[in-house]
Amino acid sequence: MYKFKFPDIGEGITEGKILKWFVNSGDSVKEGDSLFLVETDKVNAEIPSPVGGIVVSTKAKEGEIIYVGNVVIEIETSENALKSTSSLNEPIDKKSKAIDEGETAGVVGELEVSSQIIAISKEEKPSLEDESSIKVLATPVARKLAKDLGIDIHKIKGTGPVGRIMKEDIYLANEEKLTVSPVSRPSSTASPSILIPELKFAGEVERVPLSMLRKTIAKNMVLSKSVIPHASATDEIDVSKLVAFRTQSKNMAIEQGVHLTYMPFIVKAVTLALKDFPMFNASYDDKSEELVLKKYYNIGIAVDTPDGLLVPIIKDSDKKGILPIAKELSILSEKAKDKTLTLDSLQNGTFTITNYGAIGATSGIPIIKHPEVAVLGVGKIAKKPVVVENDIVIRDILTITLCIDHRVIDGGDAGRFLARLKSYLDDPVLLVLS
Q: Are residues 294 and 415 in the same domain?
A: yes
Catalytic residue among 154, 230, 259, 406: 406
Residue of 195, 190, 186, 139 whose CA lies nearest to 167: 139
Looking at the fold, whether 249 and 161 belong to one and the same domain comes out as: no
Task: Report whether pLDDT(212) > 90.
Answer: no
Tell whether 134 and 233 lie within a shared domain.
Answer: no
Q: At residue 328, what are phi and psi to the nearest 5 degrees?
A: -65, -40
Q: Is the pLDDT of residue 106 over 60?
A: no
Domain termination residue (choose one: 159, 180, 201): 180
AA letter at 209: P
In a domain, 211, yes or no: no
Query: Is 234 or 194 the better-scoring residue by pLDDT?
Result: 234
Q: What is the mean pLDDT of residues 57-65?
A: 90
Asked, for residue 17, whether it belongs to a domain, the answer is yes
The region that residue 14 occupies, defined by phi over 0 for left and psi between -120 and 50 for alpha, beta otherwise, is alpha
What is the CATH classification number for the domain harbouring 51? 2.40.50.100
Which of residues 126, 145, 180 is at a domain's end? Answer: 180
Q: Which value, to the nearest 10 degrees, does the dihedral of the CA atoms of residues 206, 211, 217, 223 take?
A: 80
Note whether residue 42 is domain-resident.
yes
Q: Is residue 48 part of a domain?
A: yes
For residues 130 and 279, membership in a common domain is answered with no
Q: What is the pLDDT of residue 80?
A: 53
Range of the domain at 41: 2-180
Q: Would residue 125 count as lying in a domain? A: yes
Q: pTM of the entire structure?
A: 0.64
Q: Are residues 276 and 423 in the same domain?
A: yes
Residue 213 maps to a domain: no
pLDDT, tens only, 130-174: 444 455 777 777 787 777 777 888 888 777 765 778 877 887 787
Domain count of the chain? 2
Residue 238 shares a structural domain with residue 163: no
CB atoms within 10 A of CB 393: 12
More confident residue, 91 or 404: 404
212 φψ region: left (φ > 0), alpha (ψ -120 to 50), beta (else): alpha
**Phi/psi of residue 93, each to 5°?**
-70, 145
Is 185 within a domain? no
- Please check whether residues 263 and 350 belong to one and the same domain: yes
Predicted pLDDT at 94: 41
Domain CATH code at residue 339 = 3.30.559.10
Catalytic residue list contains 154: no
- Asked if residue 234 and residue 173 are part of one domain, the reply reads no
User: Is the same domain home to 263 and 396?
Assistant: yes
Same-domain status, 171 and 239:
no
Shared-domain flag, residues 274 and 361: yes
> Do residue 131 and residue 65 come from a single domain?
yes
| Domain annotation covers residue 202 | no
